Amino acid sequence: MNPKITAATLRAMKERGEPIAALTAYDYPMAKLLDEAGVTLLLVGDSLGMVVLGYPDTTQVTMPEMEHHVRAAARARPTALLGADLPYRSYETVEAAVTHARRLVAAGAEFVKAEGGREILPQIQAIVAAGIPFCGHLGMLPQHVLEEGGYHIKGRKEEEHQKLLADARALAEAGAFAVVLELVTPPVAREISQQIPIPTIGIGSGPDCSGQILVTHDLIGAFPWFTPRFVKPRLNSAAEIQTAVAAWKKSLQPADS
């Protein structure tokens, strides 16, 4: 049996130059399958709002919904490090951040993730002080999609470049064990990865991060109605399911019909 992966494991992987493979999991069977496939980190992401619950974006995901899916994924007892997103508006104050982080841990999460840099530094420090491992999230912030008017690549402007660097350094100093970089220009993602001691986990941010994370549904073609431009699906499971169902339906017909 492989040893349990921890935040310290990821730090050691960065130091060795060993890539971190991270994927989303929202339920027991997927968490178990991905863990058996050797995935390093599993995230119960608030992306479940779109690919599982049918919401238009992540801002409608509730805390009870996150807890429900964390419990399901945690029942797989993965060797992978299992974490969860703090949902929209659940960490606006220090007290709320710690309270909701503890609720996710009670549901089975081994770390929590929240979006933002220095503007949520007190919340991050309080979560870490409470003994809860914290993963940051910089770049494109899905929970801010409504106020930003869509999903935009970050780091093209020098102001964004400098803010990303400063925020990444602040997260590391505050005790975050890793940071997700979403839709950050590859040169800036590479620079951040070189300058901070904690692992960077990229999504649409080029090949030079310490690891990569994808929404599993995008990777396996399980959500055919939308696929991000930076994703190359490795399977068309939606078509496979529809083919299997069609074959099964056909088998129900009488042989002489």
Active-site residue list: 182
CB 102 within 8 A of CB 130: yes
Element (H, E) at 42: strand 41-44
Tokens of 62: 């509730």
Output the six-digit token pair for 195. 């300058």
**Phi, psi for residue 230 in degrees, rounded to 5:** -85, 0
Q: Are 24 and 215 in contact (CB under 8 A)?
A: yes
The DSSP secondary-structure symbol of 18 reads: P
Q: Which amino acid is at 156?
A: R
Among 22, 40, 39, which Cα is nearest to 213's?
22
Listed in sequence order, the residues at least 6 apart from 183 whose beta carbon sits closer than 8 Å to its beta carbon are: 139, 140, 151, 152, 153, 154, 203, 204, 205, 230
Answer whether 103's CB lies under 8 Å from 84's CB.
no
Q: Which of 93, 134, 141 is nearest to 115 (CA)?
A: 141
